[in-house]
Amino acid sequence: MKLSIQNISKKYNKEKFGLKNYSLTAENGIMGLLGPNGAGKSTLMKIVATISQPTQGSVELEGIDIIQNPNYIRKVLGYLPQDFGVYENLNAYEFLEYIAAMKGVGGHGLRSRIEALLEGVNLIEAAKSQIGSYSGGMKQRIGIAQALLNDPKVLIFDEPTVGLDPEERMRFRNLMSDLAQNAIIILSSHIVSDIETIADEVVIMNNGTLITKGTLAEVIGQVEEKVFETLLENSSLTEFKAKHLVVNTNRQKDDVWVRYISNDPVTGSKAVVPSLEDAYMHLTKNRN
Amino acid sequence: MRQLFKIVISDYWQRTRSYAFLITLAISLFAAYSFVPAPDANYTTLRIGNYIGVQNAAWIGYVTAMMTSVFLCLIGFYLINSNIKKDIQTGVGMIIATTSISNFSYLSSKAWSNFLVLLSITGIVFLMGITLFFIRSAGYPLSMMQFILPYLLIAVPAIFFISTLSVAAEVFLFRYPVWMNLGFFIFFCILGSQQSTTRPLFDLFGVKTVTMSMQEIIHKNNQYTGTDVSMGFIFGGKKAIGSFIFEGIHWNISIILGRVAWICFGWMLIFISSRFFHRFDLKQTFKSGSKMEPSDIISKGKILHEIKVSELSPITPDYGIMPFVSTELKMLIRKGPRWLWLINLGAMVALIFAPLAVAGQIILPVLWFLQVGRWSDLATKEKTNRIHYFTYSSYKPLTRLLTAQIISGLLLALALASPLFIRYLIALQLSSFLGILLGGAFIVLLAVSMGILSGGNKLFEIIFFLLTYLNVNLIPFADYFGGINHGSPYLLLIFLLVIFLACISFVARRFEIRRL
């Protein structure tokens, strides 16, 4: 599968853009989207999921324009939006049957597929209770299960780990890796470590534009030898922040350990191994 | 006080910046225009025996004020009765609960903003009344007091009381919206039916004092004794009508105090409600109820499972709409309290045994109206439940899902009307049979189209309530299912309306899907 996004823009009014002349190509594997709020991640995902239309540009799946033929991708799409809801007076079985009908999935195997998915997200015991009585994490797991109902080849997950506990997050990451062998997965998260752990490719966005795209090593490579740590007095921290991009602080009595990014480190600083978070901060803050 | 004012104004702005409010304003303007019939119109709105007033400032001012009072009491309640519910749904209520605002202040602010919404509509109708005076009065002088006094003393206390009543209803019946809607319908019908016998002090609408004064004028100037008051849209019989000159009434202190008493009753309702207000502590109530929250297996420390993609059953494509129809029907049936089905069953039994005219003209419209909560969000529940991300990204959502929603709504309407259906078939009344079929389609498509256009269920609820009230009062133009008019041309008209609404629904939904 190959998904090709060509020069798409989403204009809300004369001055406000959701996306500006954005191009991207994705193939089987996990593409992690990073960016601050308002960067255009959700807009991009909604356009690929065919629920929003770009002002200009094209999106093609296997060479077919899905802006013109949205039903082409819808048959193979699994989408987990950021702020989805549920019909609270249906139980988990009924809700998944309903979503399966939307996706055009039926037949004798449907029931066992739903059972397997509910078992996999650990909701089989609560499957006969109305969803209105579920906790936030349980609803999120229902969301994950619905995305897999139609054996999707394109999966879009917008902040999928919100509401999941650490163990569930780990299980979700394993699932992503499993699915990525045969599907394009576009994953957005504010939790940089989630992306760092599983993404094959990382895309960083800001203000509706693509800032960088590459493998984890390529993106982190952009801050190679630019990340340092130093110990400062508490009182000098404000002045230091004005001059350098501080990514982390750790207070200790009168002093503070500071992790910062700079081309010109202060005396006494120690170079450290950069992380994706460092690269993200460097690439997004330097362009604001 | 300043804070309260800010809350009221913010609340008022967010409620008036909606399509539902704009459409209600448009309906109000149209209704206001019809309150003073043209000389050649075949209906009257206020008639004392066989007399109507000449169209001077007092007649136009008082009639429009009285009609506004009744009209806004009727639909106003349904327009404003979800003010607290919105704070629950948006989660704003949880924030409000943690602030220092007292229950009384919060509920007062809700009552004031309700009142401002209704007052805005009253203001528009007031201006329309003055415009009508210039159109309809034949040389009579304009006296502004003949407009200001009736609006101030008839309409304003009535809408203020309705504003507080809706807050009280939300406090005490927030879990039982059906009771709220049905209870007000009954309350309104009782008030309406008691108009001829009630004393002015107990007349919420404030029309009794005025009609009594009009009756006196007719008694004095004519030896005619038949002075029954007919108020509402009364069709026919206009040729035999005489006229009289009405110059307004003298507002003495006891009449004014009688009207102020309704404002005091309103405040009393707010005060009592504030003692019982849940202050958004709803979760606790839920837990202590019968529905228990299922425990999450993850918190039990049991062995957890993972999804094994390779072990999932293969999928079979199925693009039919029957699974949708089945689930939509399930949701329609489950919506609302279970006891409502007992009332539905009772009404269906009544459809079997009541005289055909009563069954067709009164029981059926009321039975259908009881389903207002089920139909009103038929095509808007995706958005209110935030499911639309799934539905709009599904395969052919327009032709499959919307069609299934309309079919399931229609199936419910026809199932409820089935006893009458069978009776009409046995009696070989095919036009009545067709009328119900078209009426069911009309009301379901009205719910769908109004829902999509306004983005909520309020507009449909108001129109459906109005239609039902007019139907029960046998007003011919509101007959959407041929209960009164049986001819083929009339059924053809309903059929064309059904097609029109279907087109609007599909075009508007298509536009909505593409513009999300």
Which pLDDT band, with edges at 50, 70 and 90, does B192 fall under?
confident
**Record: contact A89-B513, CB cut-off 8 A:** no
Question: Within an 8 Å CB–CB cutoff, is residue B389 touching chain A?
Answer: yes
Of B465, B475, B469, the C-alpha closest to B193 is: B469
Instruction: Report the C-alpha gap between B248 and B288 in whole angstroms.
Output: 57
Question: Within an 8 Å CB–CB cutoff, is residue B396 touching chain A?
Answer: yes
B295 to chain A: which residues are within 8 Å by CB?
125-126
pLDDT tens digits along A82-93? 888 898 888 999
Task: State the smallest CA–CA distance between residue B299 and chain A in angstroms.
Answer: 10
pLDDT tens digits along A107-152? 888 999 999 999 999 999 999 998 988 988 899 999 999 999 999 9
Mutual orientation of helices B322-334 and B403-426 as an angle, nearest 10°? 70
Query: How many contacts, defined by CB atoms under 8 Å, are there between A and B?
Result: 173
pLDDT number for residue B317? 87
C-alpha triplet B375, A87, B370: angle, nearest 5°: 25
Average pLDDT, chain B: 87
Across the interface, of B294, B298, B513, the residue whose CB is closest to A165 is B298
Query: What does the domain layout of chain A look like in residue ranges?
Result: 2-220, 222-285
pTM higher than the cut 0.80 = no
Which pLDDT band, with edges at 50, 70 and 90, does B305 fall under?
confident
DSSP state of B370: T
Mutual orientation of helices B430-454 and B19-35 as an angle, nearest 10°? 130
Across the interface, of B315, B335, B388, the residue whose CB is closest to A105 is B315
Instruction: Report the C-alpha gap between A114 and B315 in whole angstroms.
Output: 11
Task: State the smallest CA–CA distance between residue A35 and chain B in angstroms.
Answer: 22
Task: State the smallest CA–CA distance between residue B97 and chain A in angstroms.
Answer: 21
Most confident option among A38-47, B85-94, B162-171, B380-389: B162-171
Instruction: Report the C-alpha gap between B126 and B77 in whole angstroms.
Output: 20
Across the interface, of B304, B315, B388, the residue whose CB is closest to A109 is B315
Fold of A2-220: Rossmann fold (3.40.50)
B175 to chain A: which residues are within 8 Å by CB?
none
A75 to chain B: which residues are within 8 Å by CB?
317, 395
pLDDT tens digits along A176-222? 999 999 999 999 988 898 899 899 999 999 999 999 999 999 999 99
Average pLDDT, chain A: 91
A151 to chain B: which residues are within 8 Å by CB?
312, 314-315
Sheet strand arrangement including A227-233: A245-252, A255-261, A227-233, A270-271
Across the interface, of A103, A119, A124, the residue whose CB is closest to B394 is A103
pLDDT number for residue B283? 57
**Record: contact A146-B390, CB cut-off 8 A:** yes
**Record: contact A87-B331, CB cut-off 8 A:** yes
Q: Which of the residue ranges A43-47, A50-54, A267-271, B27-31 would you say has the lowest mean pLDDT?
A: B27-31
Task: State the smallest CA–CA distance between residue B384 and chain A in angstroms.
Answer: 9
Instruction: Report the C-alpha gap between B18 and B249 in whole angstroms.
Output: 38
Across the interface, of A50, A75, A133, the residue whose CB is closest to B291 is A133
Instruction: Report the C-alpha gap between A286 and B460 in whole angstroms.
Output: 52
3-state secondary structure of B334: helix
Instruction: Report the C-alpha gap between A47 and A198 in whole angstroms.
Output: 24
pLDDT number for residue A222? 94
Of A103, A108, A201, the C-alpha closest to A145 is: A103
Parallel, antiparallel, or unpaired for β A77-80 and A154-158? parallel
For A119, the closest chain B residue by CA position comes to B305
Phi, psi (5° rounding) for residue A268?
90, 0
Instruction: Report the C-alpha gap between B158 and B198 in whole angstroms.
Output: 16
Across the interface, of A83, A135, A179, the residue whose CB is closest to B296 is A135
A79 to chain B: which residues are within 8 Å by CB?
389-390, 393
Q: Per-residue pLDDT averaged across A26-33, rounded?
A: 95
Task: State the smallest CA–CA distance between residue B465 and chain A in angstroms.
Answer: 26
Instruction: Report the C-alpha gap between B460 and B465 in whole angstroms.
Output: 8
B313 to chain A: which residues are within 8 Å by CB?
109-110, 112-113, 116
Instruction: Report the C-alpha gap between B101 and B6 in whole angstroms.
Output: 13
The encoded tokens of residue B341 equal 């089905």
Task: State the smallest CA–CA distance between residue B45 and chain A in angstroms.
Answer: 45
B293 to chain A: which residues are within 8 Å by CB?
133-135
Q: Per-residue pLDDT averaged across B202-208, rounded?
A: 90
Instruction: Report the C-alpha gap between A233 and A240 in whole angstroms.
Output: 10
Instruction: Report the C-alpha gap between B211 and B369 in whole angstroms.
Output: 31
Give the residue from A75, A77, A89, A98 with the most B CB atoms within 10 Å of its CB, the best one to mutate. A98
Q: Per-residue pLDDT averaged across B329-342, rounded?
A: 89
Task: State the smallest CA–CA distance between residue A144 and chain B in angstroms.
Answer: 10
**Record: contact B315-A99, CB cut-off 8 A:** no
Across the interface, of B293, B323, B393, the residue whose CB is closest to A97 is B323
For A109, the closest chain B residue by CA position comes to B313
B387 to chain A: which residues are within 8 Å by CB?
84-87
**Record: contact B315-A110, CB cut-off 8 A:** yes
Which pLDDT band, with edges at 50, 70 and 90, does B284 fall under?
very low
Complex confidence, ipTM: 0.79
Task: State the smallest CA–CA distance between residue A205 and chain B in angstroms.
Answer: 22
pLDDT tens digits along B350-387? 999 999 989 998 899 999 999 998 999 999 999 888 88
CA distance to A228, A274, A276, B362, per residue, from A225 (Å): 8, 8, 14, 83
The encoded tokens of residue B325 equal 């129809």
Distance from the first to the final alpha carbon of chain A: 35
A137 to chain B: which residues are within 8 Å by CB?
296, 298
A165 to chain B: which residues are within 8 Å by CB?
298
Task: Give the other-Cβ count within 10 Å of B183's Cβ.
Answer: 14
- How far out from the chain centre does Cα B504 lie? 21
> Per DSSP, what are the bridge partners of residue A246?
A260
Task: Give the other-Cβ count within 10 Å of B224's Cβ.
Answer: 13
Give the residue from B285, B308, B313, B391 with the most A CB atoms within 10 Å of its CB, the best one to mutate. B313
In the predicted structure, residue A264 carries a pLDDT above the cut 70: yes
Parallel, antiparallel, or unpaired for β A105-106 and B229-235? unpaired
Q: Mark residue B428 as left, alpha or beta (left: phi above 0; alpha: psi -120 to 50; beta: remaining).
A: left
Which pLDDT band, with edges at 50, 70 and 90, does B289 fall under?
very low
**Record: contact A86-B387, CB cut-off 8 A:** yes
Instruction: Report the C-alpha gap between A114 and B313 in whole angstroms.
Output: 9
C-alpha triplet A71, A76, A77: angle, nearest 5°: 85
Could you give the percent of chain B with pLDDT greater than 70? 94
In the predicted structure, residue B286 carries a pLDDT above the cut 50: no
Of B212, B238, B220, B173, the C-alpha closest to B66 is: B212
Give the residue from A122, A139, A173, A185 with the most B CB atoms within 10 Å of its CB, the best one to mutate. A122
Instruction: Report the C-alpha gap between A120 and B308 in whole angstroms.
Output: 7
> Using CB atoms within 10 A of its CB, is residue B147 exposed (0-12), middle (13-18) or buried (19+)?
buried
Question: Within an 8 Å CB–CB cutoff, is residue B239 touching chain A?
Answer: no
**Record: contact A134-B294, CB cut-off 8 A:** yes
Element spanning B177, H or E: helix B177-193
**Record: contact B304-A53, CB cut-off 8 A:** no
pLDDT number for residue B299? 60
A-proximal residues of B, 271-310, CB under 8 Å: 291-298, 304-310
B392 to chain A: which residues are within 8 Å by CB?
50-51
Residues 6+ positions from B278 with CB-CB distance below 8 Å: B171, B174, B285
Question: Within an 8 Å CB–CB cutoff, is residue B318 touching chain A?
Answer: yes
- How far out from the chain centre does Cα B353 lie? 29
Which pLDDT band, with edges at 50, 70 and 90, does B227 fall under?
low
Question: Within an 8 Å CB–CB cutoff, is residue B343 touching chain A?
Answer: no
Task: State the smallest CA–CA distance between residue A276 and chain B in angstroms.
Answer: 28
pLDDT number for residue B288? 41
Half-sphere exposure of B457 (CA within 13 A, CB side): 20
